[in-house]
Amino acid sequence: MTSPEQQAAVLRLLDANLDRSREGLRVVEDWCRFALDRGDLVARLKDLRQRLGLLHADRYKQARHTATDVAAGMAHPAQTERVNPQAVVSANCARVQEALRVLEEFGRHEDPALAAEAAAIRYALYDLEVELLRACSGVDGRRAQLQDCKLYLVTSPSPQLEAVVEAALVGGVRLVQYRAKEGSLAPDGEPITDGHRLQQARALRQLCSRHGALFLVNDRIDIALAVDADGVHLGQGDLPPALARRLLGPEKLIGRSTHAISQLREAVTDGCDYVGVGPVNATPTKPGREPVGLDYVRQAAAESPIPFFAIGGIDRDSLPAVQASGGTRVAVVRAITEAADPAAAARQLLEALA
């Protein structure tokens, strides 16, 4: 049986640790915002912080009594040893994780919803912390390169696949996705097999490496791992990004196709590094998919904290309308793969995007 005094102490304890976890998240969030310029990390940290804020009930705040807190203002010499941003980020992540554990333990009986959310956020922060520390140490090269990419080539099955991709790379493309869906044909005209996919992905991976380009695989995490691709691109019906992240590790890129702003927001929360926005126009590469038009491009431009690539029937003629709607990055298929001169087509698109 909990006494009134113990009940009041639990309420104060929950309030203090909600404050502690939210403050720690804000410290890290602001560093990502003002120093790292990483809108993707800012969005994920903000989401965690706001989820806690929704559960910071008034009854916890009303139980607060700082004047009788024996540890108020207490410092530790270790705090003066945080001499660089990485140390500050690491210390605040630890602070948040410790506070969340307290919320779990003491919230189970007082506020089960708070305890469950604290546990979920703590596990999410374990993975996020690795990305934060990599970003602080300046070794997050793939994401830095992704930020610079304006033109994204998505392949389609072709007997001249390697030649087309190499020409595009010569033309300046620095982001390539290998895409060979079920029902595609191999170079010999027969239905494509996983053996064909692996062979093609390995060849394109080598081409991209020689040209300093990022190489991603559509859908197939197993093939991405087998050829050491830079990441994967997932559709709405593919594996969840969180599971893909566990399989690929924190250093690889994860992109996701989105067709509405709600899906973009979900992709940001799930830790995706970029999204595809479309299809802007009807396209034979997405048969049966209704185009979303330019309205969604405008929404993405106004809201997306991560790079987004407008996709769907975009070529030199339709590009100005996409740009006028706020699309500064585009993904193309036929505009390069069906061009008489893929290298020239890539150069022209890059010039227009610049």
How confident is the prediction along the chain (354 residues), in pLDDT tens digits per residue?
678 889 999 999 999 999 999 999 999 999 999 988 888 899 999 999 999 999 999 999 999 876 555 555 555 455 545 457 788 888 999 999 999 999 999 999 999 999 999 999 999 998 888 888 888 877 678 998 999 999 999 999 999 999 999 999 999 999 999 999 876 767 777 888 999 999 999 999 999 999 989 999 999 999 999 999 999 999 999 999 999 999 998 889 999 999 999 999 999 999 999 999 999 988 776 666 788 999 999 999 999 999 999 999 999 999 999 999 999 999 999 999 999 999 999 999 999 999
Catalytic residue numbers read 179, 257, 286
- At residue 229, the 3 state secondary structure works out as coil
Looking at residue 194, the DSSP 8-state letter turns out to be: H
Q: Which of 283, 307, 278 minimizes the C-alpha distance to 293?
A: 278
pLDDT at residue 347, rounded to an integer: 97
Instruction: Decide: residue 153, CB within 10 A, 0-12 exposed, 13-18 middle, 19+ buried.
Output: buried
- Which helix H or strand E contains 57, and what residues bound it? none
pLDDT at residue 76, rounded to an integer: 47
Complete DSSP assignment for 21-60: HHHHHHHHHHHHHHTS--HHHHHHHHHHHHHHHHT--HHH
- At residue 245, the 3 state secondary structure works out as helix
Q: Which of 194, 173, 155, 178 minimizes the C-alpha distance to 285?
A: 155
Alpha helices in 176-333 (DSSP H): 194-210, 221-226, 241-248, 261-269, 293-303, 319-324
Q: Which of 33, 51, 34, 50 minimizes the C-alpha distance to 42?
A: 33
Work out the angle at residue 83's Cα, subtended by the Cα atoms of residues 78 and 87, and round it to the nearest 5 degrees: 75
The token pair at 255 is 């992109």
Q: CA–CA separation, 19 vs 253, rounded Å? A: 33
Amino acid in the structure at residue 263? Q
Looking at residue 305, the DSSP 8-state letter turns out to be: S
Q: Which of 348, 298, 286 minimizes the C-alpha distance to 328?
A: 298
pLDDT at residue 83, rounded to an integer: 57
pLDDT at residue 139, rounded to an integer: 63
Looking at residue 331, the DSSP 8-state letter turns out to be: E
Q: Where are the beta strands (DSSP E) in the chain?
A: 151-154, 175-178, 214-218, 231-234, 253-258, 274-277, 308-311, 330-332
The CB density around residue 354, as the number of other CB atoms within 10 Å, is 8
The token pair at 317 is 């003629």
Write down the pTM of the prediction.
0.78
pLDDT at residue 67, rounded to an integer: 57
